[in-house]
Amino acid sequence: MADAQKKKSWWKICLLLIVVLAVVGGAIGWYKFFREEPQPDWVTATPDMRFKYGSIGAEHDAGIPYWIFFVLPRMFPEKLPGPGGYASLGVAWEQGQELPIGFTKKVIGFPRVANNCASCHVASYRKSASDNPVFVPTGPNHTLNLQAFFRFVVDCAKDPRFNADEIMSEIALVYKMPLLDKLIYRYLLIPIAKKRLLEREKQFQWVYHKEFPLWGRGRDDAMNLTKYFLLNWPMDDSIGPTDMPSVWNLKKYKPEKGMLMNLAGDSHDARSVIIDSALGLLSAAPRACRRRKSARTASGLKPGASRPRSSRTKWCAASVSSGAVWWKSNRAATSRHFSTAFGCVRPIYTTVRCPRCAICSNPSPIVRKSFIAAMTFMIRSMSVL
């Protein structure tokens, strides 16, 4: 009888230990892999900061562990377009910020890095080569080499140096990682990140197509991203890189007047276009719990919610005046064409060549100087709207 009681007590102790270990293991697993922390207050302090650095939920399915993202340019500089790390990709990067504009950092178990709309929709300009850039949220990013970024992350994963030993050694040079995090990175995050990035290689075959021209900076093949990432269509011979557009003042599109959006004129609904673009950043259709959040975030760009920002720049009065003369003498010819063609689909053989193309390509210094002066006048006029 005593032996039976001892055996029964032993089983109870074992069962209790198993339950305790399961609870502790589950708590640690939730904390290290699934807990979701809000972004810092400075990210959500203003609409501009939220647009530039706010998460849209892409970290769940398309996020890269932060420390892997951090060391990739250090380990594989030869796979970038030039020196300077991620800056060589032409990303918009504000002084003092940890990440470029459009790159979001969010803790979901562990810090992850993903993208939001600002990657492609924040413009920049400088008054002179020595000035710091001024960033304009919702404008087109004309410097970003998006195709090079896609190639970079996949090429890194294909390199044999993308392994736990070498990545952990590189991380150790800049950050003393806690023991548990070291084990998680070494045995889980690095192998999983490599596997997921290599899986993207098949979806990115069109990016490597030898017969396709390079997109160039400030351009994106958005429809193929939708086809191959969301719809999982087989690769075909289509290519459609276009200039990244501004997304301010979307209420200017009037569907009742036949105005359509996108290069192909395949939509008149600004909200649907915004959400479709957000889904492309998510790299997968979001689960129900995140779909509402993504839609709410994307709806922050509701038609008319954003307009070109007012400028307090002190413009050169002489440049503005000379530009005004040129613009007023030529605006009749240009506005007559664009006022009737804006937002409408026309057969390519009926389109009129943009007058600025001839100006931009004209080798005459006088013409170029006049054109630059006119652009200065236009920007100055826009900044007071």
Q: Give 161-186 pLDDT, tens digit per residue.
A: 999 999 999 999 999 999 999 999 99
Domain residue extents for the chain: 36-301, 317-383
Q: Pick from 322, 326, 307, 323: which is nearest to 383 by CA?
A: 307
How far from 349 is each of 24, 341, 352, 353, 370, CA to CA, in Å? 69, 14, 8, 10, 30
Q: What is the pLDDT of residues 53-63, one digit of tens each?
A: 999 888 988 89
SS3 labels along the chain: CHHHHHHHHHHHHHHHHHHHHHHHHHHHHHHHHCCECCCCHHHHCCHHHHHHHCCCCCHHHHCEEHHHHHHHHHHCHHHCCCCCHHHHHCCCCCCCCCCCCCEEEEEECEEEEEECHHHCCEEEECCCCCCCCEEEECCCCCCCCHHHHHHHHHHHHHCCCCCHHHHHHHHHCCCCCCHHHHHHHHHHHHHHHHHHHHHHHHHCHHHHCCCCCCCCCCEECHHHHHHHHHCCCCCCCCCCCEECCCCCCHHHCCHHHCCCECCCCCECCHHHHHHHHHHHHHCCCCCHHHHHHHHHHHHHHCCCCCCCCCCCCCCCHHHHHHHHHHHHHHHHHHHHHHHHHCCCCCCHHHCCCCHHHHHHHCCCHHHHHHHHHHHHHHHHHHHCC
Backbone dihedral region of 221: left (phi > 0), alpha (psi from -120 to 50 degrees) or beta? beta
Separation of alpha carbons 242 and 280, rounded Å: 16
Separation of alpha carbons 345 and 258, rounded Å: 8
The answer to whether residue 133 scores a pLDDT higher than 90 is: yes
User: How high does pLDDT run on average in the chain?
Assistant: 79
Q: Count of CB atoms within 10 A of residue 240's CB? A: 15
Of residues 183 and 308, more confidently modeled: 183
Helix axes 190-203, 146-158, angle to 10 degrees: 130
Of residues 9 and 73, more confidently modeled: 73
Burial of 379 (0-12, 13-18, 19+ CB in 10 A): middle
- Angle CA 292–294–298, to nearest 5: 120
pLDDT given for residue 159 in this prediction = 97
- Angle CA 77–82–83, to nearest 5: 65
Please answer whether residues 244 and 144 qualify as being in contact, where contact means their C-beta atoms are separated by less than 8 angstroms.
Answer: yes
Backbone dihedral region of 15: left (phi > 0), alpha (psi from -120 to 50 degrees) or beta? alpha
Separation of alpha carbons 183 and 14, rounded Å: 27
Start-to-end CA span in the chain (Å): 92
Q: What is the pLDDT of residues 135-144, one digit of tens each?
A: 999 999 999 9
Please answer whether residues 248 and 306 qualify as being in contact, where contact means their C-beta atoms are separated by less than 8 angstroms.
Answer: yes
Q: Pick from 148, 59, 149: which is nearest to 104 by CA?
A: 59
In the predicted model, what is the mean pLDDT of residues 194-214? Answer: 89
Q: State the amino acid at position 133 in one-letter form.
A: P
Greatest mean pLDDT range, 214-218, 285-289, 345-349: 214-218
Q: Pick from 120, 115, 121: which is nearest to 138 by CA?
A: 121
Separation of alpha carbons 154 and 151, rounded Å: 5
The answer to whether residue 293 scores a pLDDT higher than 90 is: no
The answer to whether residue 157 scores a pLDDT higher than 90 is: yes
Separation of alpha carbons 51 and 301, rounded Å: 9
pLDDT given for residue 359 in this prediction = 39
